[in-house]
Amino acid sequence: MKIDFEKSIVEVSNADGSVRQLPFASADAFREVTRAWLRVGWDTKYVYGFTWLGRPVIQLPDDMIRLQEVIYQLKPDAIVETGIAHGGSLIYSASLCQLTGKGRVIGVDVEIRPKNRQAIEAHPLASYITMIEGSSTAPETIQKVKALINPGDVTIVLLDSCHTYEHVLAELEAYGPMISRGSYIVAMDGIMQDVVGAPRTDPDWTTNNPQTAVREFLAGHPEFVLEEPAFPFNESMITDRVTYWPNAFLKRI
């Protein structure tokens, strides 16, 4: 790919050796540049440079804004997140609960490091958050999460712990029944499939990734569909998410 600022075009080489010239003011040019940007961002650990209200949040900002749109529209009673790390995502969700006047956050992690736990518990939004330490797929952990969800709750689940095919599939099976009709379970970091060969990747990521788990889960669960949340506002040429979470939003119908 070549970017020519003087001509305002993106040149993309095709498999047959031909070259496409895409004007800057086109969705196709944006899509190609975005693919390169996401890969360069992965290599440079771009997502490791953000915080939310004081806590590191290791997510692509575009993904967080799109997630905010979904949560604002759903106004869930419960937001379940597997994977806590530094707690930035929990604080992000808690801030949305506070702003919308509704909801609580349930965070699950196999290991909650003491410094991270202390920082989350000391945060002004801590009252919105319950943390559970344990494997997200362990029966006792799942029961603890279920106990915090009331009948009739609008519930959304965000899967951001271990991203192997087997683990994500097990999480989808375990947490799928908790999803209320019209809400989502979100299998994050499916970008793994697209960055094989980059730093911090393994060759088996071509299949050992969340997208593979999503495809298998959907094949056996007709109550879910893969559905991109609609943009609530869009006056641009762009209709696709810029994302680390491709094919991630499974909606219960």
* pLDDT tens readout for residues 114-144: 999 999 999 999 999 999 999 999 999 999 9
Instruction: Tell me: do 130 and 197 sit in the same domain.
Output: yes
Instruction: Tell me: do 27 and 68 sit in the same domain.
Output: no
The CATH number linked to 193 is: 3.40.50.150
Q: What is the pLDDT of residue 85?
A: 97
End residue of a domain, out of 28, 44, 60: 44
Instruction: Tell me: do 10 and 59 sit in the same domain.
Output: no
Instruction: Tell me: do 28 and 128 sit in the same domain.
Output: no
pLDDT tens per residue, range 58-104: 999 999 999 999 999 999 999 999 999 999 999 999 999 999 999 99
- Per-residue H/E/C for 21-85: EEECCCHHHHHHHHHHHHHHHHHHCHHHHCEECCEECCCCHHHHHHHHHHHHHHCCCEEEEECCC
Q: What is the mean pLDDT of the chain?
A: 97
* Residue 33: C-alpha distances to residues 86, 181, 237 (Å): 31, 36, 14
pLDDT tens per residue, range 205-217: 999 999 999 999 9
Instruction: Tell me: do 16 and 112 sit in the same domain.
Output: no
Instruction: Tell me: do 93 and 21 sit in the same domain.
Output: no
Instruction: Tell me: do 25 and 85 sit in the same domain.
Output: no
Q: What is the pLDDT of residue 214?
A: 98
End residue of a domain, out of 10, 26, 44: 44
Instruction: Tell me: do 99 and 207 sit in the same domain.
Output: yes
Instruction: Tell me: do 171 and 242 sit in the same domain.
Output: yes
Q: How many domains does the chain have?
A: 2
Please give the average per-residue pLDDT across 34-41, as a whole number: 97
Q: How many CB atoms lie within 10 A of CB 124?
A: 12
Output the pTM of the full model. Answer: 0.96
Q: What is the pLDDT of residue 77?
A: 98
Q: Is 207:195 a contact under the CB 8 Å cutoff?
A: no
**Structural domain boundaries enclosing 63:** 51-252
Please give the average per-residue pLDDT across 152-173, as a whole number: 98
Banded pLDDT at 237 (limits 50, 70, 90): very high
DSSP H helix total and E strand total for the chain: 7, 12
pLDDT tens per residue, range 166-187: 999 999 999 999 999 999 999 9
Q: How many CB atoms lie within 10 A of CB 161?
A: 22
Instruction: Tell me: do 231 and 117 sit in the same domain.
Output: yes
Residue that the structure tokens 């279920």 belong to = 146
* Residue 88: C-alpha distances to residues 128, 194, 220, 225 (Å): 13, 25, 33, 29
Instruction: Tell me: do 230 and 111 sit in the same domain.
Output: yes
Q: What is the pLDDT of residue 195?
A: 98
Q: What is the pLDDT of residue 153?
A: 98
Instruction: Tell me: do 67 and 172 sit in the same domain.
Output: yes
